[in-house]
Amino acid sequence: MSFKELVKVLGLGAVALVLGVEWLDWLTRRLRVSRGPLKEVLFFPSPHVCVEHLFTRHRRFPCACPLPHGIETSFSRLLEHLLSARTSLDLCVFSFSHMELSRGIILLHKQGVIIRVVTDRDYMTITGSQIGTLRKAGICVRHEMSAAVHMHHKFALVDGKKLITGSLNWTLTAVQSNKENVMITEEPALVQPYQQEFQRLWEANDPTNHKPQTKLKPSFVISD
């Protein structure tokens, strides 16, 4: 085969490869659509593995930490769904002390994702809570104003179309020890009520509509 023919063959091969990949991608998307909106269920506890690759996608050197690498777990899937946010993240969570989840939210905030957090009045001040860290990073956080009730939700809305909800508080104990469940869905009939609930709580707990407290509640440790 002459050089010219070789170049032609390689060129045609490259074009065929690109078209083939495009076609496979189109087929995959069609199959996903025909199965309906995204539905995924994650169960915990989740083994402790390295998730550094989710934070730094173009890493020059492999991670040298002692944790297992390249393993997908319930936690890595949860973090991946969280980090898929491109425009907005509404988080409604009772207890939040997980440092990697906090890191993920701050990363999204730095990328320009609009983030709003509603949390529980008592649990936002427990030792280890990441709520203060989020506030220091400039993220807007509101808390349940009433002292008589708990804001016990554990859900997040990604880009207004993906719901992450379940029994899981965003804590290390919940992720690594407890029997927990998280459901992820893009079914509009399920997403929309949660979006409305978030909006209702966000507006109801607007601090400008409430009198300032004269007596601050002390921080205290509550086991998870």
Compose the 125-144 pattern: x for residues touching a second copy by CB under 8 A, - for all others: -------------------x
179 binds a second copy (CB under 8 A): yes
Residue 209 near residue 60, CB atoms below 8 Å: no
Stretch binding a second copy (CB under 8 A), from 53-61, 76-84, 168-176, 212-220: 168-176
Q: Which of 129, 133, 95 is nearest to 115 (CA)?
A: 133
Residue 79 near residue 56, CB atoms below 8 Å: no
Cα 88 from Cα 164, distance rounded (Å):
13
Please name the helix (run of DSSP H) or strand (run of DSSP E) that holds residue 50, with its range, or none.
none
From the list 28, 84, 87, 177, which residue makes contact with a second copy (rule: CB under 8 A)? 177
Return the number of other C-beta atoms located less than 10 Å from residue 176's C-beta. 14
From the list 52, 159, 178, 186, which residue makes contact with a second copy (rule: CB under 8 A)? 178
From the list 6, 9, 14, 41, which residue makes contact with a second copy (rule: CB under 8 A)? 41
Cis upstream peptide for 212 (omega within 30°): no
Output the six-digit token pair for 56. 């730094």
> What DSSP designation does 212 have?
P
Cα 207 from Cα 198, distance rounded (Å):
16
Tell me whether residue 107 or residue 190 sits nearer to a second copy (CB atom). 190
149 binds a second copy (CB under 8 A): yes
Stretch binding a second copy (CB under 8 A), from 18-26, 80-88, 101-109, 163-171: 163-171
159 catalytic? Reply is yes
152 catalytic? Reply is yes
Compose the 66-105 pattern: x for residues touching a second copy by CB under 8 A, - for all others: ----------------------------x-----------
Q: What angle do CA 81, 118, 106 make, to 5 degrees?
A: 50
175 binds a second copy (CB under 8 A): no
Rg (CA), the chain: 22
154 binds a second copy (CB under 8 A): yes
185 binds a second copy (CB under 8 A): yes
Residues composing the chain: 224
Q: Which residues bind a second copy (CB under 8 A)?
A: 36, 39, 41, 43, 45, 94, 144, 148-155, 165-168, 173-174, 177-181, 183, 185, 187, 189-190, 193-194, 197, 201, 224
Catalytic amino acids? 152, 154, 159
